């Protein structure tokens, strides 16, 4: 099978031409055509010899995914993509005051099995290739005509269960000669795959890390997130302390509030205790209810109470602003709607 142009990093492109006995400058030119001039066919390249263009055409594919559906709401667009093998994934574009942020998918389905999550209901079919992650950005920028300033890796899939493709993706979109997304504008969210967090902290990029915590103790977390049985909370927290020390960066904890499950006063106090002294902040997420799962969203007065307890304990905390609950923008909902 042909390789895809969006699988290659800047250095891969240089090496590709050097291996052919050519100049690495050619690789830099191709990178520029792909990410600055944003060509969608090799024929648009004008400053490289015909034979080389023919060689590229023979060896590489280019665009492989397409947008099959867009749902629009105030400040948010939700995209459904069709992949080469007809699988579907989603991305969500959010317009903030500070820029446009795109939430991308990393897998078709997910094997983490979080009880509250729609993506997990549909088991993992396969990992996305690096180029399929890159293409989500390119297609959305073309469709909406705006520059994406932030990328959050929080769509369908567990990014650390597709680690190598993810890292290559980050290297490509971060490169100053390409899309040039600043590493501080990239956030990766994981349910807590500890060995990969350890690898991630050694990377040379200043990418933000978010952890889907969702419970203050093993008892509750085991019930709603099976990954906790492999990497219990105390091991996760120790790893994150190591992460903060090594990288000198703040960690974000995501905490979905589920009515009657993880949202009482004791949970809030236990959570405050758990993260005390860590360089972190907590993002409280009002649960997006779905037809297929019976968890209910915590009432807003109880969300406020939970928030107040954390605040009183001097924890940095925000309540996530909601985008697109009308258009089923919660993780995996558009894809699953299609399939129901």
Q: Where are the beta strands (DSSP E) in the chain?
A: 3-4, 60-61, 66-73, 76-82, 88-96, 99-103, 107-108, 126-127, 150-153, 186-190, 208-212, 251-257, 280-286, 317-319
Q: Which is nearer to ligand SAH, 34 or 225 (CB)?
A: 225
Let me know: does 75 contact 94? Beta carbons within 8 Å. yes
* CB hemisphere CA count around 97 (13 angstroms): 1
Closer residue to ligand SAH in complex, CB, 154/173: 154
Strands 99-103 and 88-96: antiparallel
* 288 lies in the site for ligand SAH, by CB under 6 A: yes
Contact 218, 233 (CB under 8 A): yes
Asked if residue 190 binds ligand SAH (CB under 6 A), the reply is yes
Tell me how far, at minimum, the Cβ of 209 lies from ligand SAH, in Å.
10
Task: Tell the smallest beta-carbon distance from residue 77 to ligand SAH (Å).
Answer: 18
Residue list 218-257, contact with ligand SAH (CB under 6 A) = 254, 256
State the catalytic residues: 90, 331
108 binds ligand SAH (CB under 6 A): no
Stretch that binds ligand SAH, among 25-33, 55-63, 112-120, 261-269 (CB under 6 A): 112-120
Give the residue from 186, 167, 193 showing the smallest Cα distance to 114.
193
Task: Tell me which of 189, 239, 298, 328 binds ligand SAH, using CB under 6 A.
Answer: 189
The three-point CA angle 201-110-297 to 5° equals 95
The bridge status of strand 66-73 relative to strand 317-319 is unpaired
Q: What is the dihedral of CA 112, 295, 318, 313, to 10 degrees?
A: -100
Could you tell me if 274 and 233 are in contact, meaning their C-beta atoms sit under 8 angstroms apart?
A: yes
With binding defined as CB under 6 A, does residue 330 bind ligand SAH? Answer: yes
Residue 10 or 287 having the CB closest to ligand SAH: 287
Site string for ligand SAH, 85-104 (x = CB under 6 A): --------------------
Span interacting with ligand SAH, options 68-76, 187-195, 199-207, 258-266, rule CB under 6 A? 187-195
Contact range with ligand SAH by CB under 6 A, out of 115-123, 135-143, 215-223, 268-276: 115-123
Binding site for ligand SAH (CB under 6 A): 112, 114, 116-118, 154, 158, 189-191, 212, 254, 256, 285, 287-288, 290, 330-331
């Amino acid at each position: 099978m042909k390789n895809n142009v969006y699988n290659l990093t800047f250095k891969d492109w240089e090496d590709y031409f050097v291996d052919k006995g050519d100049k690495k400058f050619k690789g830099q030119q191709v990178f520029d055509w792909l990410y600055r001039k944003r060509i969608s066919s090799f024929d648009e390249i004008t400053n490289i010899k015909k034979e080389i263009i023919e060689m590229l055409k023979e060896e590489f594919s280019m665009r492989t995914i397409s947008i099959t559906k867009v749902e629009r709401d105030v400040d948010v667009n939700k995209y459904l993509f069709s992949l080469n093998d007809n699988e579907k994934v989603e991305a969500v574009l959010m317009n903030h005051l500070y820029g446009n942020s795109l939430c991308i998918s990393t897998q078709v389905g997910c094997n983490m099995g979080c009880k509250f999550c729609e993506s997990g209901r549909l088991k993992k079919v396969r990992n996305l290739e690096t180029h399929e992650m890159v293409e989500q950005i390119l297609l959305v920028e073309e469709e909406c005509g705006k520059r994406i300033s932030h990328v959050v890796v929080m769509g369908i899939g567990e990014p650390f269960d597709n680690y190598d493709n993810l890292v290559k993706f980050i290297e490509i979109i971060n490169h100053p000669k390409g899309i040039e997304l600043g590493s501080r504008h990239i956030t990766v969210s994981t349910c807590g795959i500890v060995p990969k967090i350890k690898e991630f902290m050694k990377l040379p990029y200043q990418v933000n890390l978010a952890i889907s915590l969702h419970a203050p103790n093993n008892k509750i977390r085991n019930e709603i997130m099976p990954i906790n049985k492999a990497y219990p909370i105390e091991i996760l927290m120790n790893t994150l302390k190591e992460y903060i020390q090594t990288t000198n960066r703040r960690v974000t904890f995501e905490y979905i509030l589920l009515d009657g499950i993880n949202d009482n006063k004791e949970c809030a106090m236990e959570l405050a205790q758990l993260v005390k002294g860590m360089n972190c902040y907590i993002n409280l997420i009002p649960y997006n209810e779905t037809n297929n799962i019976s968890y209910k969203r915590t009432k807003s007065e109880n969300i406020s109470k939970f928030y107040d307890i954390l605040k009183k304990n001097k924890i940095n905390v925000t309540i996530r602003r909601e985008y697109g609950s009308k258009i089923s923008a919660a993780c995996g909902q558009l894809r699953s709607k299609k399939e129901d």
